[in-house]
Amino acid sequence: MKIRKSLLSMNSSSTRKYISHKTRKILSKEHQLNLLSQIEKEKCKIEKIKLNIRNLYLFVTTKDDIRGIQVSNSLINKIKGIISTLCFICNATSKDKDRTNLNKKKKDNTENVLLALYYANQRLFKVTENEIQ
């Protein structure tokens, strides 16, 4: 709609007075530069629209390709196990930070962090060991 309005404004009677009706040539250099700049602006807008359409098409096709991929349940369970381990570590460290903020003094609660890291190491070792075999 904006493109149509800009084209209509370029073709308005006030701008046509700078164009010779017999030869169809632009009479003033200033008006010629103005028209060229408007054309360049519209060209840039159209290029952006084309790029957006192309990206949208690529996104939709990639989304369809991802839906077509079949993942085994064992791999999904392994990934969920790793995620739960990382969440456990995150919870242990955030509880330590909460306790520090409440008391306004630094508490060394490294036992929880070390336990979480040990637990994570054991879980990751089991997952990779099963993957190797």
Tell me the pLDDT tens digit for each residue of 56-105: 888 888 877 777 777 777 777 777 877 877 777 777 667 655 555 555 55
pLDDT at 9: 64
Judge if 62 and 77 occupy the same domain: no
68, 91, 111 — which closes off a domain? 68
Q: Where are the alpha helices (DSSP H) in the chain?
A: 2-10, 13-16, 29-68, 73-103, 110-132
Residue bearing the bigger pLDDT, 47 or 70: 47
Judge if 24 and 55 occupy the same domain: yes
Judge if 24 and 63 occupy the same domain: yes
pLDDT at 24: 58
Task: Kindly indicate the confidence band of residue 46, based on its pLDDT and cuts at 50, 70 and 90.
Answer: very high
CA proximity to 113, closest of 94, 130, 133: 94
Domain count, the chain: 2
32, 50, 68 — which closes off a domain? 68
Compute the mean pLDDT over every residue in the chain, rounded to the nearest whole number. Answer: 72
33, 51, 68 — which closes off a domain? 68
CA proximity to 116, closest of 94, 85, 84, 82: 85
What pTM did the predictor assign? 0.36
Judge if 22 and 37 occupy the same domain: yes
Judge if 88 and 45 occupy the same domain: no
Structural domain that includes position 6 = 2-68
Judge if 64 and 83 occupy the same domain: no
Judge if 58 and 113 occupy the same domain: no
Asked if residue 114 has pLDDT above 60, the reply is yes
pLDDT at 8: 58
Asked if residue 25 has pLDDT above 60, the reply is yes
One-letter amino acid at 27 equals: L
pLDDT at 81: 77
Judge if 86 and 116 occupy the same domain: yes
Judge if 27 and 57 occupy the same domain: yes
